[in-house]
Amino acid sequence: MAQDASHERGEGAKAPDPLSKGIFGETVEGIAEGIVAEGEEAYRQLFDHMLDGFALHEIILDQDGVPQDYRFLAVNPAFERLTGLRRESLLGRTVKEVLPGTERHWIDTYGRVALTGESVTFENISAELGRYFEVTAYSPRRGFFACIFVDVTARRRAEEALRISEERLRFALEATSDGLWDADFSTGEVYWSPRAYAILGYTPEEGPMTLNRWQGLLHPQDRKAAEELVQSAFSGESEGYTLEYRLAARNGDWRWVMDRGKVIERDPSGKPRRVVGAMADITEKKTMEEERRVLEKYLQNVVDSIPSILVGVDVQGRVTQWNAEAERRTGLSRRHVLGRPVRECGNFPEETMALLQEAIALRSLQKAERISLEEGGERRWSDVLVYPLVANGVAGAVVRVDDVTERTRMEEVMVQNEKMMSLGGLAAGMAHEINNPLAGILQGAQNIQRRLSPEMRKNVEVAEECGVSLEALRRYLEARDIFAFLKDIREAGERAADIVRHMLTFSRRGSMTKAPCALKDLLDHTLKIARADFDLRVRYDFQKILLEREDDLHLPSVSCVAAEIEQVLLNLLRNAAQALSASPSTAFPRIRVVTRREGDWAVIEVWDNGPGVPEEKKRHIFEPFFTTKKAGEGTGLGLSVSYFIVVSRHNGWMKVDDAPGGGAVFQVFLPLERGD
């Protein structure tokens, strides 16, 4: 017969014959032999009433003695019931006739049983009946074989249920990735599940786990805490424990585990007898926690390195982040302000608080520029940006405050520079416009003198034609000082022309490339411009101030942009003159200009005997917008522009000090060329 599925036992080797011993085996053999002998009604009755299926077959061989088919000789009612095949359709017929799809494997198997006497036992599944059968095939006589079918469905289902249960438990353990352990303190033996061994890279075959071996695997830094906690549970203070510690893995690494244990049995004295638990590999979690800690530290370092105030706040306005710049600017530590209302932390202007509220309410970026604030007795400016933080709704905001004081001052310096350049251009234009009529005046004065000269014959002739004596006319003009007036006109015109030339030189500013320059010549030009200051708004007169000079004639040339250094010196001279004019008590106003060498520096000093600079104002005097003048009398940019030119453009430096005997002295240090 054909089998839907089977599991053979002992194929190729003689299997234990279940019918070889005992009354039942002898009876079944007798039935088979009786059927083969076609006799013995007693066996026939027993055969028909058996609960197990029974079938007798004759093997069919070809001429070479190779099994090719087998014929049904007898089947009992139980066989019909179990297989669904009818006796009438089977007896006397071969299996290939009844079941054409029978595999060659079954013919060979049963042929081997019939010819060798080796019995086989296997399980067969009937898909139609949904039943399991244990089939035993044996040979009662050479050339014949009998099959007994035993219904083992109940046993198989019980085994399957147990297998499924065990499989579910295995899947559950594999799904949790936990390793189970069971410690017997009475024997010192510890059972570890395969997963527990696998966590550390060991196998059960490498040796059983014991309490001593577990203690040997503990990390030295974790051993004390682990043993104390376990001992606490064992002493009865608690029935269980949860602990994280490290164990040595087979490859030499340390694996983090979270161990959960519980005492489930104690001896009569209360000592633990049996403890069970599970441990999970949390190495990856610990690694991620460490990486997160390092990342948080890195991000905090990044935030702290930003030269801006960064303050995080929640929706209630409480501080959640406070970087190093915020600590520096406010003097409040991060630990001191975290969790406190931001209004109580530092001198934040009201504009910042308003932006913060708007950013949270509108969920949009808010910003404000050039917010002014008094800080440490100094006026400073800040740009403020507020970024809303959104996570499942508004979670707060980050306030960024950038100190733009220096940038604001530099922008104003640049604006002032642009204005000065514009004024220079205007001065150049005016100089050109003045030059034309001035040239006419000088030429006209020269022509008048020539027309009155007796050395020119034409002058004498024209005078005689007009009835006038040229000599008499000259005596009259001399008597009325007309010639002196003409001389004054020419000298004044020449001075004006000289001033215009210097204005053009200053306004053009020349090339912005540095070039060797003699400071003596540079001062000559600057002083000429200062003496002829044409600004009608100034309240001083260089003609009433004694200008003194002390030049170091051996001072080497200085590499500089001449027009820029002239601008610096002219500003210092004007400031000195303005200070003297504002000090009526100075009876003899005096400005002294000195050049000298100090090491590798060329030094220009501008001295005055005015009121001087108060000590508290000296440290701010080169800052933009700082002025010692009255309101409306200065921009506060002159010295800051000069400082920028000397320090940033020429790699020099400036300082102010008290002049001996009163007044102030401003010093400009310019680097000398190497080798000078």
Task: Confirm if 84 and 72 have CB atoms less than 8 A apart.
Answer: no
Q: Does an H or E element contain 409, and which?
A: helix 405-451
Residue 170 covered by a domain:
no
- Our count of domains for the chain comes to 5
590-598 vs 546-550, strand pairing mode: parallel
What's the per-residue H, E or C state across 429-484?
HHHHHHHHHHHHHHHHHHHHHHHCCCCCHHHHHHHHHCCCCHHHHHHHHHHCCHHH
Helix, strand, coil share of the chain (percent; to 5): 45, 25, 30
349: left (phi over 0), alpha (psi -120 to 50) or beta: beta
Encoded tokens for 149:
């079918």
| Dist. CA 4–CA 135, nearest whole Å | 13
| Domain contains 168 | no
What is the model's pLDDT at position 543?
A: 73
Least Cα distance to 575 among 459, 510, 668 occurs for 668
Give the integer Cα–Cα distance in Å for 188 and 209: 9
- What DSSP character marks residue 182? E
Statement to judge: residues 640 and 545 lie in one domain? yes
Dihedral sign, Cα of residue 66, residue 20, residue 146, residue 7: negative
Q: Which spans in 250-404 are helix H?
A: 283-305, 324-330, 334-337, 350-362
Q: Are residues 425 and 486 in the same domain?
A: yes
pLDDT computed for residue 415 by the predictor: 63
Q: Within this chain, do residues 97 and 216 fall inside the same structural domain, yes or no? A: no
Structural domain that includes position 67: 6-158
Burial 157-178 (b: 16+ CB within 10 A, else e): eeeeeeeeeeeeeeeebeeeeb
Q: Output phi, psi for 576, to 5 deg.
A: -65, -45
Residues 132 and 239 in one domain: no
Say if 105 falls within a structural domain.
yes
**Rounded CA separation 592/609 (Å):** 9
Let me know if residue 38 belongs to a domain: yes
Of 569, 522, 525, 561, whose CA–CA distance to 651 is shortest?
Answer: 561
Compute the distance between CA of residue 484 and CA of residue 481 in angstroms, rounded to an integer: 5
Note the pLDDT of residue 4.
44
Question: Cα(264)–Cα(246) distance, rounded to whole angstroms?
Answer: 25
Pair (20, 152) in one structural domain:
yes
The amino acid occupying position 113 is V
176 half-sphere exposure, CB direction, 13 A CA radius:
15
pLDDT tens, position by position, 159-184: 888 888 878 767 766 666 788 888 88
- Whether 325 and 240 map to the same domain: the answer is no
DSSP state of 141: S
Q: Are 422 and 340 in contact (CB under 8 A)?
A: no
- Domain match, 230 and 252 both: yes
Q: Which of 378, 403, 428 is the last residue of a domain?
A: 403
Q: What are the 10-residue block averages of pLDDT along the chain, 676 residues in total?
A: 43 38 45 52 69 92 94 92 87 92 90 94 74 88 92 87 80 74 84 88 86 87 85 73 91 92 85 87 92 88 85 87 86 87 79 82 82 69 83 75 76 62 61 75 83 84 84 85 84 72 55 82 85 54 82 90 88 85 76 92 91 76 62 57 84 88 89 74
In a domain, 302, yes or no: no
Q: Which of 118, 113, 103, 120 is nearest to 143 (CA)?
A: 113
Q: Are residues 253 and 320 in the same domain?
A: no
Tell me, yes or no, whether 279 and 317 share the same domain. Answer: no
Residue 22 confidence (pLDDT)? 39
Give the model confidence (pLDDT) of 228-237 as tens digits. 877 777 777 6
8-state DSSP, 18: T
Question: What would the 3-class secondary structure string for 41-66 be?
Answer: HHHHHHHHCCCCEEEEEEEEECCCCC
**Distance of alpha carbon 276 from alpha carbon 642, whole angstroms:** 84
Among 352, 378, 403, which residue terminates a domain?
A: 403
Q: What is the CATH number of the domain that holds 328?
A: 3.30.450.20
Are both 645 and 535 inside the same structural domain? yes
User: Would you state the pLDDT for residue 377?
Assistant: 60
What radius of gyration, in Å, describes the C-alpha atoms of the chain?
59
Q: Residues 130, 263: one domain?
A: no
d(CA 640, CA 380): 16
DSSP type of residue 606 = E
209-210 vs 366-375, strand pairing mode: unpaired
Residues 6+ apart with CB under 8 A from 179: 192, 193, 195, 196, 197, 198, 199, 278, 279, 280, 281
Count CB-CB contacts under 10 A for residue 303. Answer: 18
Task: Mention every residue, 6+ apart, whose C-beta is less than 8 A from residue 592.
Answer: 547, 548, 549, 550, 605, 606, 607, 608
Evaluate whether 329 touches 347 at the Cβ level (below 8 Å). Answer: no
Looking at residue 542, what DSSP letter applies?
G
Say whether both 152 and 223 belong to one domain: no
Beta carbons of 262 and 240 less than 8 angstroms apart = yes
- Collapse the DSSP code of 503 into the 3-class scheme (helix H, G, I; strand E, B; otherwise coil) and give the result: helix
What is the CATH number for 574?
A: 3.30.565.10
Q: How many residues does the chain have?
A: 676
In angstroms, the CA 595 to CA 335 distance is: 56
In a domain, 164, yes or no: no
Rounded alpha-carbon distances, angstroms, from residue 51 to 32, 40, 41, 128, 145:
16, 20, 18, 19, 20
Q: Which two tokens stand for residue 363?
A: 């969920």
Nearest to 209 by CA among 227, 223, 195, 189: 189
Distances from the Cα of 588 to the Cα of 24, 207, 444, 659, angstroms: 150, 109, 41, 15
Amino acid identity of 509? Answer: R
Sign of the CA dihedral running 39, 41, 46, 49: positive
Q: Determine phi and psi for 102, rounding to 5 degrees.
A: -60, 130
163 falls within a domain: no
How crowded is residue 145: how many other Cβ atoms within 10 Å of its Cβ? 27
Final residue belonging to a domain, choices 477, 504, 531? 504
Indicate the Cα dihedral angle 487, 493, 496, 500, nearest 10°.
-140
pTM for the full model? 0.41
Residue 641 lies in a domain: yes
CA distance linking residue 110 with residue 102, whole number of Å:
12
Report which of 58, 56, 67 is spatially closest to residue 112, judged by C-alpha positions.
67
The owner of tokens 């600057």 is: 526
Q: In a 3-state reduction of DSSP, which class is residue 536?
A: coil
